[in-house]
Amino acid sequence: MPVQRILVFRLSAMGDVALTVPVIRGMLEENPNLSITFVTRPFFAPFFEGIPRLQLYFPDLKGRHKGFGGLFRLFLDLRKEGRFETVIDLHNVLRTKLVRSYFRAAGTSVFYIDKGREEKKELLKTKEIKQLKHSSERYCDVFRKAGFNVQMSPVPAIASSAKASEKIQEYLESQKLPEQTLKIGFAPFATHATKIWGLENARQLMQLINEKYQAHFYLFGGGQEEIEKLQALSTDNDHITLVAGQMNLSEEIALITRMDFMLSMDSSNMHIAALTGTKTISIWGATHPAFGFYALGQPEEYSLQTPADELACRPCSVFGNKPCIHETIKCMEMLTPNIVFRKMEQLNLFQIQ
């Protein structure tokens, strides 16, 4: 049977690209005559470690493929890769709309994601909480519209490379932690302020845990500002290790797989941890899991949040990019370290496996 080649686009953001992985795996598992070329950024390559019949293509969006002329060159460059029977746009933004229009004009079948914007606007307006379709399921729908059989591959969907796994094994051994020490990953930042619980809350929660349990914390994050803040949090604390800025993405993925559990905001780290199969506890502020961005494969009770019926304004944003109407971020303020700690105990998260 001849191999069918399809072209798939998802350029960003980090969490959204990660959420394509179980779908791409599922597509290739259920369609053995299929080959996928996936257009994304090189930084995200470790997400796709070990997936057969998958080729990654990295556009030069700051150089050769910049601007309208560059996007046409991207179309021409992709055509040089060979003939594609179908183009799948999982991003549906200006860049990908332009490139897919060139393929459509050349006679290639094109399908693109319905992001469910109207449903999300309605939920935001009415505050009537009902679970909307998950982003990964929306990705599946695009392939189904194109005529393919697809079911998401179960978690763990993101795997660490052998090289990174070996390095992390050596790294953990070098720490010489007592045998019964809980290893807890903690990613206290997110893209928008209304999704960030706050470093003081993080510090208090780690203190509450350490007063009762033997635990070591690994702080994850990205960007110089976050790294500096996390560095201040970890300084002079021998039970805290700063990971942010110290490892590449492959190594971070390998380390996350070795955590007893991961604690994160509604962020890319939440999605990455969940997709590795690691227990993932998420803290939610202005946004809500009902919009379809919850951590895949995790129990609903692992999403910790101020109940919407206790705060009339919540949720106030799909993505967390709107300013809070209160002087402080009320939904996060109501979710105190003591409340989070008690909930974690109720979930039996501090039991060594």
Query: Of the candidates 202, 191, 324, which has an alpha carbon nearest to the alpha carbon of residue 270?
Result: 191
Q: Kindly state the average pLDDT of the residues 29-50.
A: 97
Distance CA 156, CA 296 (A): 10
DSSP tally for the chain: helices H, then strands E: 13, 11
- Whether 140 and 172 map to the same domain: the answer is no
Confidence of residue 352 (pLDDT cuts 50, 70, 90): confident
Choose one of 87, 114, 145: the last residue of a domain.
145
* Structure token digits, residue 171: 């790294």
- Whether 185 and 228 map to the same domain: the answer is yes
Q: Kindly state the average pLDDT of the residues 247-259.
A: 98
Distance CA 48, CA 299 (A): 25
Q: Are 150 and 23 in contact (CB under 8 A)?
A: yes
- The predicted structure's pLDDT at residue 348: 96
- Whether 118 and 27 map to the same domain: the answer is yes
- Whether 141 and 181 map to the same domain: the answer is no
Choose one of 145, 179, 210: the last residue of a domain.
145
Q: Kindly state the average pLDDT of the residues 114-132.
A: 97
Does 154 map to a domain?
no
- Whether 116 and 171 map to the same domain: the answer is no
| Order of strands, sheet of 182-187, starting from the edge strand that comes earlier in the sequence | 240-242, 215-219, 182-187, 261-265, 280-284, 303-305
Strands 54-57 and 34-39: parallel
**DSSP letter at 129?**
-
User: Strand ranges (DSSP E) for the chain?
Assistant: 4-9, 34-39, 54-57, 86-89, 109-112, 182-187, 215-219, 240-242, 261-265, 280-284, 303-305
Q: Kindly state the average pLDDT of the residues 268-293.
A: 98
Please list the helix, strand and coil fractions of the chain in percent, rounded to the nearest 5, in that order. 40, 15, 45
Does 153 map to a domain?
no
- Whether 29 and 173 map to the same domain: the answer is no
Q: Kindly state the average pLDDT of the residues 186-205.
A: 97
- Whether 171 and 136 map to the same domain: the answer is no
Question: What is the span of the domain harbouring residue 330?
Answer: 162-346
Residue burial 231-269, b: 16+ Cβ < 10 Å; e: rest: eebbeeeebbbbbbeebebbbbbbbbbbbbbbbbbbbbb
Does 119 map to a domain?
yes
Handedness of CA 26, 30, 31, 32 (dihedral sign): positive
Q: Kindly state the average pLDDT of the residues 105-127.
A: 97
Residue 237 CA to its chain's centroid (Å): 28
Which class for 290: exposed (0-12), middle (13-18), buried (19 or more C-beta within 10 A)? middle
Element (DSSP H or E) covering residue 345: helix 337-346
- Whether 137 and 166 map to the same domain: the answer is no
- Whether 209 and 333 map to the same domain: the answer is yes
Does 155 map to a domain?
no
- Whether 109 and 193 map to the same domain: the answer is no
pLDDT tens, 311-325? 999 999 999 999 999
pLDDT tens, 124-154? 999 999 999 999 999 999 999 999 999 999 9
- The predicted structure's pLDDT at residue 353: 64
Query: Of the candidates 244, 208, 248, which has an alpha carbon nearest to the alpha carbon of residue 229?
Result: 244
Q: Which pTM was predicted?
A: 0.97
- Whether 9 and 138 map to the same domain: the answer is yes
Does 56 map to a domain?
yes
Instruction: Give me the CATH number covering residue 312.
Output: 3.40.50.2000
- The predicted structure's pLDDT at residue 3: 85
- Whether 195 and 137 map to the same domain: the answer is no
Q: Kindly state the average pLDDT of the residues 286-301.
A: 98
Confidence of residue 170 (pLDDT cuts 50, 70, 90): very high
Does 353 map to a domain?
no
Does 276 map to a domain?
yes
pLDDT of 1 over the 80 cut: no
What is the total residue count of the chain? Answer: 353
Handedness of CA 123, 315, 321, 292 (dihedral sign): negative
Q: Are 213 and 180 in contact (CB under 8 A)?
A: no
Q: Kindly state the average pLDDT of the residues 38-63.
A: 98
Give the chain's domain count. 2
Choose one of 118, 145, 172: the last residue of a domain.
145
Q: Are 264 and 280 in contact (CB under 8 A)?
A: yes
Does 80 map to a domain?
yes
**Residue-averaged pLDDT of the chain:** 97
Helix 67-80 / helix 94-105 crossing angle, nearest 10 deg: 50
Confidence of residue 12 (pLDDT cuts 50, 70, 90): very high
- For the chain, percent of residues with pLDDT exceeding 90: 97
